[in-house]
């Protein structure tokens, strides 16, 4: 009895284990290669897949995501016989799981060796300076060649990058010295250009200052001349106005004398006043008009006037 129970238990356990082994879960972004009796049968997609035990089996589960492989540095000789160490990074993706499984036994090793040989061919046609400055060209050529070669393996090479380019130590030292010399040269050029610009600006400043000073002096002279001219004009106008005022006053006095019907005695008195003013001047010679020749009559007339004033009776109190 007990033996039958154990046999049944073992059979049930075997059936359960067989059922679990026949079920395979494929994750997202992966596919499985199913073989039946050692021959490719089908591709298992994402999700639950059931296979026939002891007949079908999963050969490999292929990752369809983009893969990144960093290969170690490889010695490469340039066109000018300089040995450099270059390491590369390859970005690839499996596009055909069947070809990836059955067309190549070790895809990573194949890509690594193909990358090394292709890189030697490309860099061998370039000199040292061209290799250091033409990374994009080398990357593009290397990607095209690798993509064409790996297409029959079900692999697509999306991108290839040169990670490091390491020249020999003596070349690095020489390059550092050259770089330092170039920087010192640029520094000297920039310093000289700065000094030149400063000198030009200083000269321009002095020139502008001299021009402004000359213009200021010119403007000051012009304004001073204009001021002197205006002063002379005003002085002349004042003198002219004074002369006109004197002449007008003199003419008005003559008109008043004429309107007052002045007699000869008054006219003689005015002539004497004029003669007195002439005598008070600084002239050393006097020219007496002929009208004043009869000064005796004038003095006689003045005497009569004075006598009349002295003999006149005093007013009564």
Residue 157 above 90 pLDDT? yes
Q: Two tokens at 273? A: 């006043």
In this structure, are 115 and 200 located in the same domain? no
pTM of the predicted protein model = 0.54
Question: Tokens 């090394």 sit at which residue?
Answer: 116
Number of domains in the chain: 3
The residue out of 135, 167, 199 marking a domain boundary is 167
Alpha carbons 202 and 208: distance in angstroms, whole number: 10
- Domain membership of residue 218 (yes or no) is yes
Bridge partner list, 180: none
- Domain membership of residue 275 (yes or no) is no
Q: What pLDDT score was predicted for residue 265?
A: 56
Q: Quick check: 85 and 98 in contact, CB under 8 A? A: no
- Domain membership of residue 10 (yes or no) is yes
- Tens digits of per-residue pLDDT, 269-280? 666 566 555 555
In this structure, are 82 and 20 located in the same domain? no
Q: What pLDDT score was predicted for residue 277?
A: 58
The residue out of 137, 167, 197 marking a domain boundary is 167
Residue 104 above 70 pLDDT? yes
The three-state secondary structure class of 195 is helix
Question: DSSP states of 19-48 as a string?
Answer: HHHTEEEEPTTEEEEEEETTEEEEEE-SEE
Residue 257 above 70 pLDDT? no
Q: Angle CA(148)–CA(150)–CA(153) in degrees, nearest 5?
A: 135
Alpha-carbon separation of residue 132 from 3, 9, 74, 135, 253 (angstroms): 80, 72, 16, 7, 116
Torsion of CA 148, 153, 156, 161, to 10 degrees: -70
- Tens digits of per-residue pLDDT, 111-132? 999 999 999 999 888 888 888 8
Q: Rounded to 5, what percent of the chain is helix, strand, coil?
A: 60, 20, 20
Cβ of 265: how many Cβ atoms within 10 Å? 14
Alpha carbons 44 and 88: distance in angstroms, whole number: 34
Bridge partner list, 35: 40, 57
- Domain membership of residue 272 (yes or no) is no
- Tens digits of per-residue pLDDT, 159-181? 999 988 888 887 778 777 888 88
- Domain membership of residue 223 (yes or no) is yes
Q: What pLDDT score was predicted for residue 93?
A: 94
Domain boundaries, position 22? 2-62
Share of the chain above pLDDT 90, in %: 21
Burial of 120 (0-12, 13-18, 19+ CB in 10 A): middle
The three-state secondary structure class of 96 is coil
Residue 17 above 60 pLDDT? yes
For the ranges 39-48, 97-106, 136-145, 238-247, which has the lowest average pLDDT?
A: 238-247
- Domain membership of residue 31 (yes or no) is yes
- Tens digits of per-residue pLDDT, 206-247? 888 889 888 888 888 888 888 888 888 888 888 888 888 777
- Domain membership of residue 310 (yes or no) is no
In what helix (H) or strand (E) does residue 164 lie, and over which residues does it extend? strand 155-166
């Amino acid at each position: 009895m007990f033996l039958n129970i154990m046999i049944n238990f073992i059979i049930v356990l075997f059936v359960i284990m067989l059922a679990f082994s026949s079920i395979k879960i494929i994750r997202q972004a992966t596919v499985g290669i199913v073989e039946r009796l050692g021959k490719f049968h089908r591709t298992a997609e994402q999700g639950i897949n059931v296979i026939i035990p002891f007949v079908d089996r999963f050969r490999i589960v292929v990752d369809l995501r983009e893969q990144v492989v960093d290969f170690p540095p490889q010695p490469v000789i340039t066109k000018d016989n300089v040995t450099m160490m270059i390491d590369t990074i390859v970005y690839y993706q499996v596009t055909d799981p069947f070809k990836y499984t059955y067309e190549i036994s070790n895809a990573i090793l194949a890509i690594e060796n193909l990358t090394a040989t292709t890189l030697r061919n490309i860099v061998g046609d370039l000199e040292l300076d061209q290799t250091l400055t033409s990374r994009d060209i080398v990357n593009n050529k290397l990607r095209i060649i690798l993509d064409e070669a790996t297409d029959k393996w079900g692999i697509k090479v999306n991108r290839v990058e040169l990670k490091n380019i390491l020249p020999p130590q003596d070349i690095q030292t020489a390059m550092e010295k050259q770089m330092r010399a170039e920087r010192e040269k640029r520094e000297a050029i920039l310093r000289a250009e700065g000094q030149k610009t400063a000198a030009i600006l200083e000269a321009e400043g002095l020139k502008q200052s001299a021009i402004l000073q000359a213009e200021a002096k010119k403007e000051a002279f012009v304004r001073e001349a204009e001021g002197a001219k205006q002063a002379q004009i005003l002085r002349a106008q004042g003198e002219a106005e004074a002369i006109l005022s004197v002449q007008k006053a003199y003419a008005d006095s003559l008109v008043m004398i004429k309107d007052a019907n002045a007699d000869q005695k008054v006219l003689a008195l005015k002539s004497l006043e004029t003669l007195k003013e002439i005598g008070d001047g600084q002239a050393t010679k006097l020219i007496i008009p002929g009208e004043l020749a009869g000064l005796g009559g004038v003095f006689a007339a003045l005497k009569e006037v004075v006598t009349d004033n002295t003999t006149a009776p005093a007013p009564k109190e």
